[in-house]
Chain A
Amino acid sequence: MAPRIGIVGAGHCRFGNSSDYDLVDVIAYAANEAFVDAGGLALRKEVDQVLVANMAGGLFNRETAVASALVSRMDMEPCPAELVENGPASGASAVKLGYMAIASGMADVVLVAAGEVMRSVTGWEATDIVATMAHKEAEYNMGLTLPGFAGMFTRLYMQKYGLTERDLALVAVKDHDNAAKNIYAHVQIPVTIEAIADGPEASVVNNYVAEPLRMYSTCPITDGSAAVILVNMDSPKARLFKKKPIRIAGIASATDTHCVHNRKDPLVLDAVRLSAEKAYKMAGIGPKDISFAELHDAFVIFELLISEEVGFFERGTSFLAVRNHETDLRGRLPINTSGGLKAKGHPVGATGVSQIFELVRQLRGEAEEGRQVKDPKYGMAVNFGGFGNNVVTTILAKD
């Protein structure tokens, strides 16, 4: 039987622009914060394994092998360290591999640190670098980018289910409201539905990025880092950490076709559904047990689609729940309490760990006043890579 595995330390930097800093330093910042949170920097000597999530440091920063560099920067030699690269799902993939390392018996304490510094290049270059995860011959070489894909995806959903651009704006308003209260968020500015959808100037203030997606339907380009410390709750080392562990109740991933055109229905995200089903099964719970969720809304349409695939809403109805404020902080199922990728920001390799950091804060009751979910028991994070072809679902529990 696998041991109980929990998170005893969590760290995060303020997301935004870190392009003046070295990538390894940005990641080390969050890692140090995680150790401080767990009880002190001396605890880094208890770590059996370091996993670093980063998607494209070689392209954004001309820095590679950042896992071993981090160990050296943090004076943690000879701790073994490996880099995990799984597109924008790198963060949660690293947490999953950390879980597996402990479950296998090879480690009792694992540091998972994640970071990305994207603003070292122009927005167009960043979009191009992120697009390299698409299928090279069928997609990337044809000029497809992730915003382009998401635009087509959104149009399809609109035609099938009646979603409107105003519905997309409502998701953005909710996410920005949450981010405005989150000290770690990149864009801490609330926006109004009048200004970005209803008003006479909305079409310029909220301009098209990839029609029908507008600026406020799309995440910003963000730098940042996040880290968590995983521990075998049944090992003697667990007692060294001062914080009560937040247990990983379920963690699972799934893979879909690399080419989107190979899917029967592009609007069906099999990898999201399958990873969630496995995570629910592992946790012994279902969608109705989830208190709140962080869903990978690089484009707000993803928040809607993912919330349907994981079973929160019937297919084609999630935007109606947004209209009814069901996913607001005070709604029946708060979604993206951190502000989501949309407003908190999306430093690609760091996002999965940042989502889990938010689950930990909420489950501990440590979120800022006005942003704390009431009495949460289970939190879910869905970290989404490629165009839905590699997805990790994590469920944390407050025991």
Chain B
Amino acid sequence: MAIDELEKKLRPPEVALAPYPAKVITLASGETMVVRECTRADVPALLATVYPLIEVAKDYYDVVATRMYNEILSWYRYRIANEFVIVGAIEGVIAGIVTSRHVDPKLGMSLHTMTIKRGLRVGAQLFAAKMEHHLEYLKEEEVWIVAESPIGFKRWMIEYELEDRSALYPGVRHELGGVPTFALTRKLWDAVKAVKCTGTRPVPPAALKTAEKLIPPEEYIQLPGWKRNG
């Protein structure tokens, strides 16, 4: 596709990021969740998954959904630099999504984690996968993290015992509006990854095939009574 000169000026410079190798996790329910990096071809399914949650105020789904919708769309339309999206899918149905951004060789900027299927620590597994990508494959030294919801704060700041950098504001300022910034350093990651991060690689071809074409969920526990095309 030809890109005109103005568009070239509008697009952010991007570096080629190391790929995130897919893995599969057996959840407590016995269901297997394929965790893989998304491509731009996945974007319609991702947006269709996120969109209904824009109206769910509980647990800050509205804030996370609107921001994540923007992040995925901006990535699709080349308006954000070096973003990556990782998805968790059970039999192809999207169970959770994470977004993040490679800032430079030393720093990662965690954007959002959205759990669609709740009660099985899907969000915790995907957050761990996001950190795994930053620190193991992109080889950054640390990741800056913020939380919009109390659940996010419990899961990341407390469970990972993240370093609180809020006192260093404005020198240390997360991109998401300058809210208090916490950091997962390599040292912290090395201390927790064995108990936080799991998954089997390589993913058996049959399992991987189930996650080839992503499917937006038909229903959401966050939206009682809501049905896609209902």
Same complex:
yes
- Stretch touching chain A among B26-34, B74-82, B93-101: B26-34
Q: Give the size range of B's interface with the partner.
A: 20 to 34
Question: Which of B26, B120, B196, B200 sits near A194, CB closer than 8 Å?
Answer: B26
A-B pairs under 8 A by CB, number:
57
Whether A205 contacts B26 by the Cβ 8 Å rule is yes
Q: How far is the CB of B188 from chain A (nearest CB, A)?
A: 17
Binary interface profile of A, 173-206, with partner B (CB < 8 Å = 1, else 0)? 0000000000000010111101110011111111
Whether A201 contacts B195 by the Cβ 8 Å rule is no
Q: Give the size range of A's interface with the partner.
A: 20 to 34
Whether A204 contacts B30 by the Cβ 8 Å rule is no
Question: Which of A20, A123, A124, A205 sits near B28, CB closer than 8 Å?
Answer: A205
Please, which residues of chain A bring their CB within 8 A of the CB of B195? 203-204, 207-208
Known: A122-B154, A124-B158. A192 touches B198 (CB 8 A): no
A248 to B153, CA, bound (A): 45
Whether A205 contacts B25 by the Cβ 8 Å rule is yes
Which of chain B's residues 83-138 have a Cβ closer than 8 Å to chain A?
119-121
Please, which residues of chain A bring their CB within 8 A of the CB of B120? 189
Which of chain B's residues 149-181 have a Cβ closer than 8 Å to chain A?
150, 153-154, 158
A195 to B198, CA, bound (A): 12
Q: Which residue of B lies closest to A193 (CB)?
A: B30
A202 to B30, CA, bound (A): 10
Whether A20 contacts B58 by the Cβ 8 Å rule is yes
**Can you list 25 residue pairs at the A/B interface with Cβ under 8 Å?**
A20-B58, A122-B150, A124-B154, A124-B158, A189-B28, A189-B29, A189-B119, A189-B120, A190-B29, A191-B28, A191-B29, A191-B30, A192-B29, A192-B30, A195-B27, A195-B29, A195-B30, A200-B198, A200-B200, A201-B199, A202-B26, A204-B195, A204-B197, A205-B28, A207-B196
Question: Which of B25, B26, B28 sits near A216, CB closer than 8 Å?
Answer: B28
Please, which residues of chain A bring their CB within 8 A of the CB of B28? 189, 191-192, 195-196, 205-206, 216
A204 to B29, CA, bound (A): 14
Q: How far is the CB of A219 from chain B (nearest CB, A)?
A: 14
A333 to B195, CA, bound (A): 37
Q: Which residue of B lies closest to A205 (CB)?
A: B28
Which A positions have Cβ atoms within 8 angstroms of B? 20, 122-124, 187, 189-192, 194-196, 199-208, 216
A-B pairs, top 10 by smallest CB distance, nearest first, are A192-B30, A204-B198, A201-B198, A191-B28, A195-B28, A195-B26, A195-B30, A199-B26, A189-B119, A196-B28
- Contacts beyond the supplied A122-B158, A189-B120, A204-B198: 7 A-B pairs with Cβ under 8 Å: A20-B58, A189-B28, A189-B119, A196-B28, A205-B26, A205-B28, A205-B198
Greatest chain A CB density within 10 A among B26, B27, B154 is at: B26
Please, which residues of chain A bring their CB within 8 A of the CB of B158? 122-124
